[in-house]
């Protein structure tokens, strides 16, 4: 073990003693690939955590927002004066009070020439466009009193017609959400000749799927603490994106970037919901600036359901042209995407992230995609786990199952006939992406075996034969996705406002310990553990000797943060790159001290040795030698550290095969998942424990969309699912145990061979489950059940089908 730092020891070592710290023991094997227990857990299981809402500061005030009860209205008057007289109230403001300085919440992804980016004031000034939009705020000495005082604010509204349905919103004479109308943008993409593919096609399938509106529901509610400090401000926020947030807040508020520090302390889940620049973050800063005191806002769950961005909400029309043998000729997609009332950070970009994935794992001659973004009077949509790719995968995987049914073929067989075979990689798809690696055959074979596919099909046939009221359904999903966002050049070509690189710094401290600074911003993903593993292997230091710093722009000044399954694929690779640079420096120093040529020095297991001799220096000895600086090569700076950025040349393309068996009660509509098998290929794996955790959690969310979750509005545009009793995320009792396994086809686009894993489970699971539900009901003539497939919807689908059928089934 390494010894504790003490001055005498350091002095001895500087004087030329033998060792500082110790390299890791090579007999322990490599860290990468090892199921390390997470170093994050110690603080999380003992309550020694630092969530934004924990922060208490002297003089801190609490903010509460008055929110519009109308989905669409003119805001004619806001009078906060009575609130000012309430106990504990320090200040109260309407949107008008900040009209000159609050600016407009940013949209960083102007996707097209025709995109309409409406003004989006953090507090409404004269118009409200969704229930929950902030119209005034109170700042008080405690949260309860701030809430009390909201009651005293007078706000007058002239109601306007709510705009809730996308098709109606685009029709002539629809009430306009914004002056420019209800169309936010149109975006088209095509590869190959779709007209030719569809012309005379022996089979053409036409389906419409609805991606219901979802509420991401991270367990930690959003919270913001804004603190005037020195010349500038520190903003603590439960955010996934401290770096992007800092830039955006500087642009939005006019607070100079160098005087603004953003901190993401412990953050309790995000799933895209904290990939945002929110009204409350902007207003928190403006209030701290105006009042000169720290202010805090923590949302309640109901407030969050109303006002934090939602996800999905698309209507997908998909057409598939195919041969009689099941081979797909082409796919056409016409998409309506509900933007909600405004375009937030990446709102219009979400459907584009799916646009390249509608061909899935399949080869085809032609693909045609059209998307229309639509404004409605609902809270804006934006990224939710998978962002665009779950929608695309759902549509193509559902359609392939429908094609199989239409042709009377096994759905796995139809997939085999169409997918890119293992020897065809790298493969450029009809959508123009180059999938670098994959092995769909291997993942599928493994999944079928674990699932007991043939046995379940036999049981299904038997139950169908017996007209068992409880039918068995089998759903298949052979998904792939593009993640590891993203090559900066590609993002630029898609009009995104920033790049997709990631930054890391690695610093060897004088005692041989290592600080890793990452631009990723974990909120449950375990980067502190995985990045330590990568560093331990690269530098030959013990895992315990590494610490990982993140989530504070004063500590980690550069980064692109955490979303889009990018952290390992981009940020982890940046850590490796920084380690390599440190080793280059250390090698030069070792050569100098050992009086050898650089090229004669080799590195293994934490020690630089002169080739063919037993002469060497450990990396820890070199760290101390660099610090002491007594004997350095000319021009060598007295430190062993390095910065690196990594900008991937390609996305990463994890894939896999998920199989789901459901039992559907045709009398009650109840659906129960009987078994679920997931075989994923996420390339090389740094920590199997964490990877499996991501897969399981992802599947749970995918199942949530398939069976349970939906944001529901009434005809006036009021959200009805404002509590966790109304918006149902799965509980332990709702989910079976999943069987998970992996195949491993390394990515060729990065030196670690890794692919992203954060979103894979969610992308794969939803179509697997719905395919299973429909498969169970198909003998009853059911071809689709809209999500979520609740007992009521299953029952209605059966009833409708029986009615159409004259009740013969």
Partner 1 sequence: MGEAAHEIALTVNGVLRRTRVPGRRLLSDCLRHDLGLTGTHVGCEHGVCGCCTVLLDGEPVRSCLMFAVTADGHEITTVEGLADGARMSPVQRAFAECHGLQCGFCTPGFLCTVTALLRENPAPSGEEVLEGLSGNLCRCTGYQNIVRAVHRAAEIMAEERAEEA
Of 510-518, 575-583, 659-667, 724-732, the segment contacting partner 1 by CB under 8 A is: 724-732
User: Binders of partner 1 among 663-702, rule CB under 8 A?
Assistant: 689-690, 692-693, 696-701
Q: How far apart are CA 689 and CA 80, in angstroms?
A: 53
Output 48 or 466, the one with its CB closest to partner 1.
48
Of 67-75, 219-227, 275-283, 781-789, the segment contacting partner 1 by CB under 8 A is: 219-227
Q: How far apart are CA 425 and CA 746, in angstroms?
A: 12
User: Binders of partner 1 among 256-285, rule CB under 8 A?
Assistant: 266-269, 271
Output 2 or 302, the one with its CB closest to partner 1.
302
User: How far is Cα of residue 587 from the mean position of the Cα atoms in its chain?
Assistant: 39
Please tell me what DSSP assigns to residue 754: B
Cα separations (Å) of 678 from 372, 445, 452, 656, 760? Answer: 34, 12, 13, 7, 10
Q: Check binding of 218 to partner 1 (CB under 8 A).
A: yes
Q: How far apart are CA 291 and CA 719, in angstroms?
A: 34
Output 68 or 298, the one with its CB closest to partner 1.
298
Q: Check binding of 132 to partner 1 (CB under 8 A).
A: no
Q: How many residues bind partner 1 (CB under 8 A)?
A: 58
Of 214-222, 532-540, 552-560, 649-657, the segment contacting partner 1 by CB under 8 A is: 214-222
Instruction: Give min distance, CB of 51 to partner 1, in A.
Output: 7
Instruction: Give min distance, CB of 529 to partner 1, in A.
Output: 10
Output 439 or 552, the one with its CB closest to partner 1.
552
Q: Check binding of 27 to partner 1 (CB under 8 A).
A: no
User: How far is Cα of residue 785 from the mean position of the Cα atoms in its chain?
Assistant: 27
Specify the 3-state DSSP secondary structure of 793: helix
Residue among 758, 697, 763 at smallest CA distance from 390: 763
Output 117 or 264, the one with its CB closest to partner 1.
264
Q: How far apart are CA 160 and CA 176, in angstroms?
A: 10
* One character per residue 516-555, x = contact with partner 1 (rule: CB under 8 A): -------xxxx-----------------------------
User: Binders of partner 1 among 55-74, rule CB under 8 A?
Assistant: 56
Please pick, from the candidates 25, 41, 114, 805, the single residue that binds partner 1 as defined by CB under 8 A.
Answer: 41
Instruction: Give min distance, CB of 142 to partner 1, in A.
Output: 9
Exposure string for 736-756, b = 16+ CB within 10 A, e = fewer: eebebbbbebbbebbebbbbb
Q: Check binding of 758 to partner 1 (CB under 8 A).
A: no
Q: How far apart are CA 294 and CA 289, in angstroms?
A: 9
Instruction: Give min distance, CB of 50 to partner 1, in A.
Output: 8
Q: Check binding of 467 to partner 1 (CB under 8 A).
A: no
Q: Check binding of 799 to partner 1 (CB under 8 A).
A: no
Output 65 or 496, the one with its CB closest to partner 1.
65
- Residue 189 bridge partners (DSSP): 369
Output 87 or 202, the one with its CB closest to partner 1.
87
Q: What is the dihedral of CA 776, 780, 784, 788, to 10 degrees?
A: -60
Q: Check binding of 733 to partner 1 (CB under 8 A).
A: yes
E strand or H helix at 518: strand 514-518
Please pick, from the candidates 53, 97, 281, 502, the single residue that binds partner 1 as defined by CB under 8 A.
Answer: 53
Find out whether 396 and 359 touch, Cβ atoms under 8 Å: yes
Q: How far apart are CA 403 and CA 405, in angstroms?
A: 5
Please pick, from the candidates 370, 724, 746, 801, the single residue that binds partner 1 as defined by CB under 8 A.
Answer: 724
Please pick, from the candidates 735, 746, 791, 802, the single residue that binds partner 1 as defined by CB under 8 A.
Answer: 735
Output 650 or 687, the one with its CB closest to partner 1.
687
Phi-psi region of 103 (alpha: psi -120 to 50; beta: other; left: phi over 0): left
Instruction: Give min distance, CB of 55 to partner 1, in A.
Output: 9
3-state secondary structure 131-173: CCCEEEEEEECCHHHHHHHHCCCEEEEEECCCCCCHHHHCCCC
Find out whether 221 and 301 touch, Cβ atoms under 8 Å: yes
Specify the 3-state DSSP secondary structure of 405: helix
Instruction: Give min distance, CB of 579 to partner 1, in A.
Output: 26
| Lookup: tokens for 784 | 């689709």
Specify the 3-state DSSP secondary structure of 517: strand
Q: Interface with partner 1 by CB under 8 A: which residues? A: 37-38, 40-49, 51, 53-54, 56, 87, 143-144, 217-221, 266-269, 271, 300-302, 523-526, 689-690, 692-693, 696-701, 723-725, 729-733, 735, 737-738, 761
């Amino acid at each position: 073990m390494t010894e504790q730092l003490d001055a005498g020891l350091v002095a001895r070592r500087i004087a030329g003693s033998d060792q500082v710290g110790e390299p890791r023991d090579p007999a322990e094997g490599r860290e990468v690939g090892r199921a390390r227990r997470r170093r994050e857990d110690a603080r999380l299981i003992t309550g020694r955590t630092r969530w934004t809402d924990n922060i208490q500061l002297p003089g801190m005030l609490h903010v509460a927002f008055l929110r519009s009860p109308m989905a669409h209205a003119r805001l004619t008057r806001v009078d906060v004066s009575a609130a000012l007289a309430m106990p504990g109230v320090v200040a109260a403001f309407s949107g008008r009070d900040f009209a000159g300085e609050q600016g407009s919440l940013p949209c960083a992804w102007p996707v097209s020439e025709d995109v309409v980016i409406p003004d989006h004031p953090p507090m409404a000034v004269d118009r409200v466009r969704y229930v929950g939009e902030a119209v005034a705020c109170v700042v008080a000495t405690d949260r309860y009193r701030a809430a009390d005082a909201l009651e005293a604010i007078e706000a007058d509204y002239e109601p306007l017609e709510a705009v809730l349905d996308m098709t109606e919103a685009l029709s002539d004479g629809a009430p306009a959400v914004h002056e420019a109308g209800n169309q936010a943008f149109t975006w088209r993409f095509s590869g190959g000749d779709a007209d030719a593919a569809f012309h005379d096609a022996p089979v053409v399938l036409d389906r419409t799927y609805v991606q219901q509106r979802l509420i991401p529901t991270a367990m930690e509610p959003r919270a913001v603490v804004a603190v005037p400090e020195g010349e500038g401000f520190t903003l603590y926020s439960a955010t996934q994106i401290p770096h992007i947030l800092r830039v955006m807040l500087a642009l939005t508020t006019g607070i100079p970037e160098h005087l603004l520090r953003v901190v993401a302390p412990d953050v309790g889940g995000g799933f895209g919901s904290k990939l945002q620049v929110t009204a409350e973050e902007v207003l928190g800063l403006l209030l701290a600036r105006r009042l000169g005191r720290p202010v805090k806002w923590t949302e309640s769950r109901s407030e969050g359901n109303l006002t934090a961005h939602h996800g999905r909400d698309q209507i997908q029309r998909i057409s598939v042209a195919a041969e009689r043998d099941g081979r797909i000729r082409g796919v056409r997609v016409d998409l309506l995407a509900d933007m909600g009332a405004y375009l937030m950070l990446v709102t219009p970009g979400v459907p584009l992230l799916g646009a390249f994935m509608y061909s899935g794992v399949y080869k085809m001659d032609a693909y045609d995609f059209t998307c229309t973004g639509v404004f409605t009077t609902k809270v804006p949509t934006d990224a939710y786990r998978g962002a665009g790719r779950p929608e695309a995968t759902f549509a193509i995987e559902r359609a392939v199952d429908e094609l199989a049914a239409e042709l009377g073929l096994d759905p796995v067989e139809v997939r085999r006939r169409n997918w890119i075979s293992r020897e065809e990689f790298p493969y450029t798809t009809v959508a123009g992406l180059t999938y670098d690696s994959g092995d769909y055959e291997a993942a599928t074979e493994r999944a079928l075996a674990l699932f007991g596919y043939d046995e379940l099909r036999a049981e299904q046939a038997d139950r169908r034969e017996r007209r068992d009221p409880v039918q068995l359904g089998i759903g298949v999903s052979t998904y792939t996705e593009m993640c590891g966002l993203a090559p900066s050049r590609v993002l630029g070509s898609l009009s995104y406002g920033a790049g997709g690189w990631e930054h890391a710094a690695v610093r060897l401290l004088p005692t041989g310990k290592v600080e890793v600074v990452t631009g990723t911003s974990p909120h449950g993903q375990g980067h502190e553990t995985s990045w330590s593993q990568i560093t331990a292997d690269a530098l030959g230091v013990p895992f315990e000797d590494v610490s990982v710093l993140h989530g504070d722009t004063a500590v980690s000044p550069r980064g692109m943060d955490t979303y889009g399954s990018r952290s390992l694929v981009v940020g982890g690779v940046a850590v490796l790159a920084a380690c390599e640079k440190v080793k280059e420096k250390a090698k030069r120093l070792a050569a100098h001290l050992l009086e050898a040529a650089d090229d004669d020095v080799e590195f293994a297991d934490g020690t630089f040795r002169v080739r063919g001799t037993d002469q060497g220096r450990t990396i820890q000895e070199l760290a101390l030698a660099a610090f002491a600086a007594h004997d350095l090569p000319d021009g060598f700076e007295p430190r062993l550290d390095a910065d690196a950025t990594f900008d991937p040349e390609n996305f990463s393309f994890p894939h896999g095969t998920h199989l789901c068996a459901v039992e559907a009660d045709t009398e009650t509509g109840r659906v129960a998942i009987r078994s679920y098998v997931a075989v994923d290929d996420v390339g090389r794996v740094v920590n199997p424990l964490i990877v499996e955790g991501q897969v399981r959690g992802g599947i749970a969310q995918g199942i949530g969309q398939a069976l349970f979750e939906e944001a529901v509005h009434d005809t006036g545009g009021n959200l009805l699912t404002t509590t966790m009793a109304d918006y149902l995320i799965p509980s332990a009792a709702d989910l079976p145990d999943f069987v998970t396994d992996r195949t491993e086809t390394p990515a060729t686009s990065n030196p670690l061979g890794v692919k992203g894993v954060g979103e894979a489970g969610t992308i794969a699971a939803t179509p697997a489950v719905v395919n299973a539900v429909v498969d169970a009901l198909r003998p009853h003539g059911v071809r689709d059940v809209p999500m979520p497939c609740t007992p009521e919807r299953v029952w209605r689908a059966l009833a409708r089908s029986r009615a159409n059928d004259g009740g013969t089934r």
